[in-house]
Amino acid sequence: MIKRVLVASRLRTVSTLLAIQFLCAGGCSSNPHLQGVPPEEAQANLEAAPDSLRRFDEPVQLTAAYWDGQSLSIRYDAEGQSYHGHSDHTAKENLSIQTDWLPVYYIHAIDAETFAAKSASAAALPILGADHWQRLRVHIAEAITPAEPFKGTLINVRDEAYFLYRDEAGVLRNPELLEKPADVPLTGNYRIEAMGDSLSEYIESYLNQIGVPNQHVLFSTGESGPYARPFAFVDRKTGAVAFGSLEPFTFGSMPNNYAVKGGKAGWHFTRSYFFEALNRPVSFLTRLFWLVTDVVWDSTRGIYIRSFSYSGLDKVDIPPLHDGEGMDLEAWEEHLDRMYGKSQSSGKIDVLVDGDEFFPTLLDAVISARESVKMRTYIFDRDDYAIAIADLLKKRSEEIDVQVMLDGLGTLMAQNKAAGTMPPDYEAPIGITTYLKEGSQVRVRSLTNPWLTGDHTKTTIVDGERAFIGGMNIGREYRWEWHDVMMEVRGPIVDVIEWEFDKAWAYSAVGGDFVLTGYRLAHSRPENDADGYPIRVLLTRPGSSGIYRAQLDAVRNARGYIFIQNAYFSDTTMIYELAKARLRGVDVRVIIPMEGNHGIMNKNNVVAANTLLKYGVRVFTYPGMSHVKAAVYDGWMCLGSANFDKLSFRINKELNLASSQPEIVQEIVDEIFTPDFANSVELTQPLPSGWTNTLASIVASQL
């Protein structure tokens, strides 16, 4: 498994500069030596600047740079003309995935007279040409890439990734990750923004080596074209590095033709309610029955809890935390065996945190697949990253069996909205289902959604040997923007996950009720051969709330601690039971996102957070959007696709994995909860709330 690793100082250093070089890679300057511009030259050859700065198809040439302690003024040549620009800390681009460590600043156009005035009292900066970036690129790439041939390393920089390896002759190669050779495994994976501590040390040594004594230095990167960042500013005292852009970055949008949008929605409604009634009549009526039953039960239960039970809790003082042992895990597993039968499987789980860890590992598995890829997802978007994955699946379908099963409603809703960092000028296909089928052998099924039921499961099985499961869908926000978790599993548990996929695939066929019955008769649940540690598959199905029941019982049985992270926290009974757990001394901590992706759930989360806080639960808000769906109860973990809402607990199809194996429980605590508690803001007082929040919580309790 590829981890968010802490590497040796030298490796961190060269990795950092390599990524910076990749970020601003470009051609070499025609002048290979250090360029210096005396201040008096600022008065010469001044020409009027254009109304606005713009992109250039060829690298620009810096001719003067001045720093007054707060702002930067530059002069550069491009296409036979001289231009002038100015930038300060107020011109920072608003990139949602940009960190403070490598900011990009927009350089505003100024005229020659303004440039002369600003530079008159400023210090001239030495300018390093683009050839220095090229030298650094080669040197650092050589340093970070494993010496052994066919061992790949991935560098993640903002929303770009660069793959490096050596061929049999030891020559460095840099293909696109999606085009990497199948026999080159991914052995190293680094997020460059997390390795910035050593940046200043390496820059310092490099500048000393070439004899530059100045505290502030400006580089020409050689980058050109749309949204290029042709300048890099370095403050050696603080170690700060910032890039300059001539063109302010704007994000793209998802094109929405309302006729097409309405047509797709209408067709999906027809499939879900007309054809579904004819195609799967038994399950169509069964789902309606369970929906009505659940609405009545949950509404009644919710009214009772709100009207009576919370008032009872108000009479209980918040006690100190329990300092004894947690629940008996052996007895707990026996309890689950009685609930679900002796259905535990076995295997090994590796936790993959965020898109940096999951998607490169997934793509590496797909590229290396020998026989089959079976992908099941709630959302398969049509943004640029999802299309890149679709292209890979289409390519692989010419050699292996590729099946893709996506939820129709989830995908339809997601495809009407662009990710926050959508590239400008991107042209999306009309729909992902037709795109996957065009010119390929991919077998695609878009699932219907009668009575709000959806398939919210996210699993991918490769060659029947390894499976990926968790909360991530296929799209740009999951790769680059959101905080989320997946698991890579191996061992007999993969057979169980694949069996669940095959059942869902059979059900999605024409006459699905009967096809599924035939599949069940012909294929029993895989036997466990006890390879690895015990892992339990928990499911949500209409009329069968295994994930909900198990976690409710876990809350009721916990004695030591309960850690939960989820973006959708609307189940009244669960909130009530968590409050009761805290009032008997359990250390209950909940993480919710500071910025969720659904307005009604955001308002509901305010009510949930305030209620939990009132009864002593520690509530944390994660900065940005966290889509993590993880929980640990006294050493028993439950992680997968299910939210803490009615859809996931009672209506949708969901799949979670659970285990009390200390190895995986500790990994989840160390990799997810410990850093996320540290990175989140703990609430010390209730959040502002009004009648709209109360109304939202009532509506959300049925969603």
Alpha-carbon gap, residue 121 to 67, rounded angstroms: 9
- The residue with greater pLDDT, 98 or 400, is 400
Give the residue-averaged pLDDT of 586-595.
92
Give the residue-averaged pLDDT of 449-459.
92
Alpha-carbon gap, residue 338 to 10, rounded angstroms: 54
Other Cβ atoms within 10 Å of 420 Cβ, number:
17
H or E segment and range at residue 209: helix 199-209
Query: Hunting for tokens 């289902």 — which residue is that?
Result: 433
* Least confident segment among 56-70, 92-106, 665-679: 92-106
What is the per-residue pLDDT for 562? 98
Highest mean pLDDT among 156-165, 186-195, 552-561: 552-561
Give the residue-averaged pLDDT of 619-628.
92
pTM of the predicted structure, to 2 decimals: 0.84
Let me know if 511 is exposed, middle or buried by CB neighbors in 10 A (0-12, 13-18, 19+).
Answer: middle
* Least confident segment among 14-23, 119-128, 278-287, 492-501: 14-23
Token readout for 168 is 């049999």
Give the amino acid at 81: Q
What is the per-residue pLDDT for 49? 33
303 CA to centre of own chain: 36
Domain ranges of the chain: 1-250, 286-700
DSSP code at position 349? E
> Alpha helices, DSSP H only, in 271-353?
276-279, 281-304, 310-313, 329-340
Query: Is the Cα dihedral 645, 650, 651, 655 positive or negative?
Result: positive
What is the per-residue pLDDT for 95? 40
Correct CATH for 286-700 of 2.60.120.1440, 3.30.870.10, 3.40.50.620, 1.10.3720.10: 3.30.870.10
Highest mean pLDDT among 93-107, 182-196, 304-318: 182-196
Give the residue-averaged pLDDT of 653-682.
96
Is the CB of residue 621 less than 8 Å from the CB of residue 681?
Answer: yes
46 has a pLDDT exceeding 80:
no
Which pLDDT band holds residue 145 (cuts at 50, 70, 90)?
Answer: confident
DSSP code at position 425? T
Q: Pick from 615, 542, 608: which is nearest to 570 by CA?
A: 608
Query: Hunting for tokens 């054809």 — which residue is that?
Result: 275
Strand, coil or helix: 269: helix
Alpha-carbon gap, residue 457 to 567, rounded angstroms: 16
What is the per-residue pLDDT for 43? 31
Give the residue-averaged pLDDT of 272-282.
88
| Burial profile 634-667: b = 16 or more Cβ within 10 angstroms, e = fewer | bbbbbbbbbbbbbbbbbbbbbbbbbbbbeebbeb
Highest mean pLDDT among 227-231, 260-264, 392-396: 392-396
What is the per-residue pLDDT for 265? 85
Rg (CA), the chain: 28
Is the CB of residue 644 less than 8 Å from the CB of residue 571?
Answer: yes
Alpha-carbon gap, residue 381 to 418, rounded angstroms: 9
| Structure confidence by residue, pLDDT tens digits, 461-472 | 999 999 999 999
Which pLDDT band holds residue 328 (cuts at 50, 70, 90)?
Answer: very high
| Structure confidence by residue, pLDDT tens digits, 293-306 | 877 777 777 776 76
Give the amino acid at 160: E
Q: Pick from 455, 384, 371: which is nearest to 415 by CA?
A: 384
User: How many helices (DSSP H) and strands (DSSP E) are in the chain?
Assistant: 23, 30
| Structure confidence by residue, pLDDT tens digits, 211-242 | 989 989 898 888 887 667 888 888 888 777 78
What is the per-residue pLDDT for 48? 34
Start-to-end C-alpha separation, the chain: 36
What is the per-residue pLDDT for 598? 67
32 has a pLDDT exceeding 70:
no
CA-based angle 571:572:573, to the nearest 5?
95
